[in-house]
Amino acid sequence: MLARDLPLRRWGLDILTMSVALLALSGCMTDHALPGEEYKLSSLRVVFLDAPHMQAKYEEITGKSAVMMTPRLVLDTHRREEVVVGFYDFRTRTIYCPKMDFEVCGHELHHAVLGQFHLQQ
């Protein structure tokens, strides 16, 4: 090693040392707590079904029709038919939803996490 290479080598080691120190400190300074709520589900099953099988499974599990009339509301003068498009079975901890319908599957995931939150009719 030549004497003229020592300052350059020392400078490289200083940069490396500072980089490692900053990386270590940034890990310590990072807030690892999530800014929100955290839920852990010990057991959850998801079953993807098409519409006819979804309705048949709902009727099999609940004993109720998968086709129902919406309740008459003050602002809504007409009752309309609604069909079950997805559901969460609390007993078996199973989400039933269409495979690529993220809105329905996400809605049912909220039931799995938060429980029953629809108004009972």
What secondary structure letter does DSSP report for 120?
P
| 67 close to 118: Cβ distance less than 8 angstroms | no
Per-residue pLDDT tens digits for 19-70? 666 566 555 555 567 688 898 988 999 999 999 999 999 999 999 999 987 7
Q: Residue ranges per domain, the chain?
A: 1-30, 45-114
As a whole number, mean pLDDT of residues 92-108 equals 95
Q: Which of 2-16, 30-44, 102-116 has the lowest mean pLDDT?
A: 2-16
With bands split at pLDDT 50, 70 and 90, how would you rate the model's confidence at 79? confident
CA distances 115 to 14, 56, 109, Å, are 56, 23, 9
- What is d(CA 99, CA 14) in angstroms, rounded to the nearest whole number? 54
Of residues 100 and 73, the one with the higher pLDDT is 100
Q: How far apart are CA 98 and CA 83, in angstroms?
A: 13
pTM above 0.75, yes or no: no
What confidence score (pLDDT) does residue 63 get? 96
